[in-house]
Structure 1
Amino acid sequence: MNQRSLQYTTGIKDGIPIGLGYFAVSFTFGIMAANTGLTPWQAIVMSLTNLTSAGQFAGLGIIKAGASLGELALAQFVINLRYSLMSCSLSQKLKEDTPFIHRLLIGYGVTDEVFGVSVCKFGKIDPLYCYGLLSAAVPGWTFGTAFGAVSGSLLPDRIISALSVGLYGMFVAIIVPPARDNRTLAWVVAASMILSFLFSWLPWLRMISSGMRLIFLTVVIAGAAAFLFPFPTNEEDCYE
């Protein structure tokens, strides 16, 4: 096996855990997409072209609320803006002579997990390694959505309702461990929960559409946290 083939197979091997995790989460997304009114093919295309759990789940809520395409597009821009920063950082890990087409194709598949695995790899990375990661991650997310969307029309309502709880379990698993170790993050999570509740409960705030509500809260809370609790510039302070 030559070096380039080894890079691709190594990427697949490193991407298998990502793909398995994606399958579990996207299965819940497929069920929710079917409950929202999307056909299985619509849900599959949505997952294949987006690859963003937070953006897709938020998109379902906006679609269900009947919001405008402008709100949907703006919400996706705000929620997925972090991927632009990840792509800029990941581009520094690629070899300088990497063609633009490879950078463009790799950018399509940049997610939190793919980025985390790629940047932690020692030295410069070969595009084939990234393609190996995507070869495991993308099918995991897409096939999970397909199985969930089809199951949503076959399984009894009680089982679908039980499986839908998996979404909230995923959010708890993502939020609780880092919030437990980081007081600033814990306050941000608490503020998000309180403000989201107020926007859903107070009559004069409840009138705001779900899409604009999501955009406003994301920008305000993230901006306030960045201003009040800036990330330390001294590398040693990061580990205090």
Structure 2
Amino acid sequence: MDKILTKRDGFLDGFPIFLGYFSTAIAFGLVCRNVNISFFNSTLISLTNFAGSGQFLMVNLLANGALLFELFVSVLLINLRYLFMGAALNQKLGDDIGVFKKIIVAFSTTDEIFSVAVLKPQKLNFAYLFSLELTSYTGWVTGTMLGYLIGVALPHKLQLALSITLYAMFASLWGHETRKSGYKILIVGFISAALNSLLILKLNMALGWSFVISMLSATLIGSLFIGSEDE
């Protein structure tokens, strides 16, 4: 019989995630400072979103003058995967987790937390999940705050150079998908990038709208091209 998961198990499983999130969130805090988002708003974004790639995207769009609707659609699309993760994780939840607790669990579900939790052979109880997620969440929020504050001590050119963090994060996500799907995902990515460049450079379209159109096009192409290949 599998042992019951405890708060301590959640902390131990969450600590490596804490370290990864803490370092990434430092970069996020620095980027926020670089684009003149206040300390309060930077911290609030991390407190209320807890979505790494989505937050970097949000800040980039804000810095380029995107409209609220453009922000909403872009962040919704990039975070849509959490809907499916939540549905899969729900199948492993124990009987002690009611609706309110499920909302808490859903809010704090990320790629890394999902990967750790879903591989557990036992049913997941709230004590374990809350400890796992709180540990990871603390790393993200405190990293954001520290990153913003230490930005004062960094040379301005170094702060500007840190804006590449956004592109590095998306490149890592793209690389991860490429290992799973092979050359097909590369083709979809290049088509999306070319379309985005065309809309901005040739049609002078706003960054927010060009990103939304490119993302929707990539989603459609991927579902047709990759989906038909996998069937």
TM-score, length-normalised on structure 1? 0.85
**Cα displacement (A) at 1:169:** 3.5
Stretch of structure 1 that moved more, 86-95 or 70-79: 70-79
Identify the residue that residue 223 of structure 2 maps to in structure 1.
Answer: 226
Q: Is the 8 A contact 2:85 2:114 kept in 1?
A: yes
State whether residues 90 and 115 of structure 1, in contact with CA within 8 Å, keep that contact through their aligned partners in structure 2: yes
- Identify if the C-alpha distance between structure 1 residues 66 and 93 changes in structure 2 by more than 3 Å, giving closer, same or farther: same
SS of equivalent residue, structure 2 residue 37: coil
1:190-210 CA distances to partner (integer Å, 9 max, x unpaired)?
2233223223321x1x22x22
Looking at structure 1, the residues matched to 25 and 196 of structure 2 have their Cα atoms a distance apart, in angstroms, of: 24
Give the partner amino acid of 2:211: L
Could you give the per-residue CA deviations for residues 39-67 of structure 1, whole angstroms, max 9, x where no partner exists? Answer: 11210110111011121111112211223
The number of equivalent residue pairs is 227
Tell me which residue corresponds to 1:158.
Answer: 157
| Structure-2 separation of matches of 1:7 and 1:217 | 44
Moved more, 148-157 or 83-92: 148-157
Contact 2:42 2:144 in 1 (8 A): yes
Q: 1:76 aligned to 2:42? A: no
**8 A contact 1:180–1:186 mirrored in 2:** no
Q: Which residue of 2 aligns with 1:142?
A: 141
CA RMSD of aligned residues (A): 2.1
Deviation at 1:170, TM superposition (A): 3.5
Alpha-carbon separation, structure 2, partners of 1:39 and 1:92: 40
- C-alpha change, 1:129 and 1:88, in structure 2 (3 Å) is same
Distance 1:31 1:72, change over 3 A: same
Aligned to 1:188: 188
Aligned to 2:57: 58
Change (3 A) 1:35 1:65: same
User: Could you list the runs of 5+ residues in structure 1 that have no partner in the other structure?
Assistant: 234-240
The match for 1:19 is 18
**2 CA distance for matches of 1:228 and 1:94?**
35
The amino acid that maps onto 1:193 is A
Structure 2 SS opposite 1:93: coil
Provide Cα deviations, 1:83-106, integer angstroms capped at 9, x if missing partner.
111111111110245211110110
Greater shift in the superposed pair: 145-154 or 191-200: 191-200
Instruction: Name the % identity.
Output: 30
Q: Using a 3 Å threshold, how does the CA distance of structure 1 residues 97 and 127 change in structure 2: closer, same or farther?
A: closer
Where does residue 214 of structure 1 map in the other structure?
Answer: 211
Query: How far apart in 1 are the matches of 2:74 and 2:189?
Result: 19
- For the residues of structure 2 that align with 1:136 and 1:9, how far apart are their CA atoms? 11
Match of 1:172 in 2: 171
Cα separation, partners in 2 of 1:146 and 1:174, compared to 1, 3 Å: same
Structure-2-length-normalised TM-score: 0.88
State the secondary structure of the residue aligned to 1:131: helix
CA distance in 1, matches of 2:65, 2:209: 12
